[in-house]
Amino acid sequence: MNGRLEAEAIRDPAAYDAVLFDFDGTLVDTMPLHFEAYRRTFDELGLELTHEDFFRNIGGTALETIPKFLRGRSTTWTVVEIHERKKRALAEILEDCPLSPLPISRLLPLLHGRVPMAVATSGARPGVSRMIARLGWERFFGAVVSAEDVRHGKPAPDLFAEAARRLGVDPRRCLVFEDTDDGAAAGRAAGATVVDVRAMAAPAAHQQLR
């Protein structure tokens, strides 16, 4: 998306039929929490997960990204078992860790009641739902679409296409906010207009790797 169109989209998001948000790294600075949960899980396996391995491969569903994290290294756990243990580790972290909303989240109360909104995330539903509830954001979203709801994660268009379907709108009339290359590609593949939030106010975790 070019700079002029991006500026126009941010100026009047309500001109679209719906606004679709990625969650982690777009609305809330949770990527460091996910990294820590995966790091602890890989540590149990006796394997190292580096910042670079994590942030360069994140974007798709866990079942798609965990093999990339492994880089061909053998393990006694299946990908599904690794994901389940990671979810438990994240739940433990969320018990005590404060959540840090990102600047794009300021759009939520401004757009509430003016345009339908949804979350389309590669994250697992339990963690995402828990964080949305903690932040008191349930009222903002007409749909929350997560990894469990689609066959293919980002960069495939499935998540955004399904979010649009649940809101009853054409994805080509949607505005998408994203923070990863795969996420932006997914939005474009769905036919939506995409705003890359990294060009605005990226979390520190992304700034380290750009």
DSSP state of 177: E
Q: Give the C-alpha separation, 137 to 117, whole Å.
A: 11
Pull the structure tokens for residue 87: 């979810």
State the virtual CA torsion across 147, 131, 33, 117 in degrees, nearest 10.
60
* 22 catalytic residue (yes or no): yes
pLDDT value of position 202: 43
Angle between helices 158-167 and 181-189 (to 10 degrees): 50
pLDDT value of position 10: 62
Our measurement of the distance from residue 79's CA atom to the centroid of its chain's CA atoms, rounded to an integer in Å, reads 20
Convert the pLDDT of each residue in 149-174 to its tens digit.
999 999 999 999 999 999 999 999 99
User: What DSSP line would sit under 186-199, residue for residue?
Assistant: HHHHTT-EEEETHH
Per-residue pLDDT of the chain (210 residues; tens, 9 = 90+): 444 455 556 667 878 999 999 999 999 998 899 999 999 999 999 999 999 999 888 877 888 899 999 999 999 999 999 999 999 999 899 888 889 999 999 999 999 999 999 999 998 898 899 999 999 999 999 999 999 999 999 999 999 999 999 999 999 999 999 999 999 999 999 999 999 998 765 444 443 322
Q: Give the C-alpha separation, 130 to 94, whole Å.
A: 9
DSSP state of 28: B
Contact 60, 182 (CB under 8 A): yes
The one catalytic residue among 22, 29, 158, 196: 22
Q: Give the C-alpha separation, 93 to 103, whole Å.
A: 23
